[in-house]
A = this chain, B = another copy of it.
Amino acid sequence: MRRYIITAFSILFSVSLIAQNHEVKEDSIKIRQFYNAALVKGQAYKWLDHLSNNIGGRLSGSLNAQRAVEFTKAELEDLGLDKVWLQPVMVPKWTRGAREHAYIQTGPGMTTEVNITALGGSVATSPGGLKARVLEVNGIEDLENYKADIKGKIVFYNRPMKPELIQTFEAYGGCVDQRYSGAEAAAKYGAVGVIVRSLSHKIDEYPHTGSMSYGDLPNDKRIPAAAISTKDAEYLSGILKLKKDLEFYYKLSSENHGEVKSYNVIGEITGSEFPEEFIVVGGHLDSWDLGDGSHDDGAGVVQSMEVLRLFKETGYKPKRSIRVVLFMNEENGLRGGNKYAEIAHSKNENHIFALESDAGGFTPRGFSFEADDAQFAQIESWKPLFKPYLIHYFERGGSGADIGPLKKGDIVLAGLRPDSQRYFDHHHAATDTFEHVNKRELELGAATMTSLIYLVDKYGMRHINLQTDKKL
């Protein structure tokens, strides 16, 4: 009897192993198909070419943002998805106005031009510009040390990104408060303006814009805020050591125009077995206005579209409903992300997984996940499938701004993690342009995303799929 039990057990075990090996083999073949299709006949780079070179920068509320909505909607329709629609959302409209101008004045007639750009959301200077003495500080906390000295001055935030941090997003995270909240903080001490060192490791002449907020400051207390290039920041800091009472002049013509209507662009392949379970893949369609937004986040947009195209191209019919969501207004309001989540939650849609690509179109290294232990263990079990593609990074961590509002219940959020070394060289600057995206790197990212979405679709996510798992 015992022998029979052992034999039966062995057979069962073998059958289960064979079945498992069969699955692994099927998965690795499918994943190889995705990479082949992305690298040999990919569409992502062509889409990005159009988005970057035929459309260009896509600031929320701009005509270009609307052109991007129409272009991507038409392209998704051409893919033959089950549904494509626009989701209306009100977004803030801010305009830069005429080109900014700035200089350092060290004496009568002794001026040095400075490359400057208004921060997104900043008020303008008076039409004649603003000229004042400068106080350099090393971040917001440092204001406290100079509080008696701030009134009537332009505060110059010059804390650099830490070069020793390996992941550049960490270095960015350690400095971005001076850009986002620096004006609010300095205004409270009586500063008349704020200039910020651009958030980039690279010492060059390009100023980097980005969002800022005045918090609850009343309108009449709001002071104009701008970024200067890292090269100019180094120069200004050096020259201030020689001449503390130099003056800085700048002129901004930016303007806040209230809210206007815009759209998230959404496409869906409806699931064949569990159409009520949703998996989202997305990036954001808006960008800053200085470059053409190729890395931030044209790359994420076209990679997300490519995920659904690669499913079609390779004949994969998802069990669950896969949505590509091209979010509007990540950069200066997150209205698109909030709107998508609001509607999904109000309809009680069961979102099990969302993946965002918003860290540039560089060589993918892996993903970071917001997941519980069981979910993460399941995801980690897929790691070997990615090894042939040099995808090694599976860690817990933040996902993406646009999908953040979807967090509720058991949903797993994920972010594509490309190599980050060059990202901030281009981020929000005039150099975020098409020629800085490498075709293969972009395509590898798209294939990597497709492979993950395929696995999530095929196996579902633990914890959430108790019902559907029973059916399997």
Contacts and interface: CB of A to CB of B under 8 A. Distances in A.
A458 interface: no
Interface stretch (A34-42, A64-72, A84-92, A224-232): A34-42
Contacts of A312: none
A103 interface: no
Given A35-B164, A164-B35, A166-B388, A421 B444 contact: yes
Interface string A415-432: 000010110010000000
Given A363-B419, A363-B421, A390-B365, A35 B166 contact: yes
A257 B238 CA distance: 53
Given A202-B439, A393-B390, A163 B39 contact: yes
* Listed residue (A40, A201, A389, A392) with the most chain B CB atoms within 10 angstroms of its CB: A392
A101 interface: no
A367 to B, nearest CB: 13
A40 B365 CA distance: 24
A369 to B, nearest CB: 17
Contacts of A164: 35-36, 39-40
Contact of A389 (B166, B425, B444): B166
A107 to B, nearest CB: 33
A172 to B, nearest CB: 13
A441 interface: yes
Interface in A159-200: 163-164, 166-168
A380 to B, nearest CB: 14
A449 to B, nearest CB: 15
A112 interface: no
A438 interface: yes
Interface in A36-67: 36, 39-40
B392 A421 contact: no
Contacts of A163: 39-40, 440
A202 B393 CA distance: 27
Given A164-B40, A166-B388, A388-B166, A201 B440 contact: yes
A158 B462 CA distance: 50
A325 B190 CA distance: 59
Nearest to A440: B421
Given A39-B164, A421-B440, 16 more contacts: A35-B164, A35-B166, A36-B164, A40-B164, A163-B440, A166-B389, A202-B439, A363-B363, A363-B419, A363-B421, A390-B393, A392-B393, A419-B419, A421-B441, A422-B438, A425-B438
Interface of A: 35-36, 39-40, 163-164, 166-168, 201-202, 363, 365, 388-390, 392-393, 419, 421-422, 425, 438-441, 444
12 contacts: A163-B440, A166-B388, A166-B390, A201-B440, A365-B390, A390-B393, A392-B393, A419-B419, A421-B438, A422-B438, A422-B441, A425-B438
A-B complex: 10 closest residue pairs judged by Cβ atoms: A392-B392, A39-B163, A36-B164, A421-B440, A39-B164, A421-B441, A363-B419, A40-B163, A422-B438, A363-B421
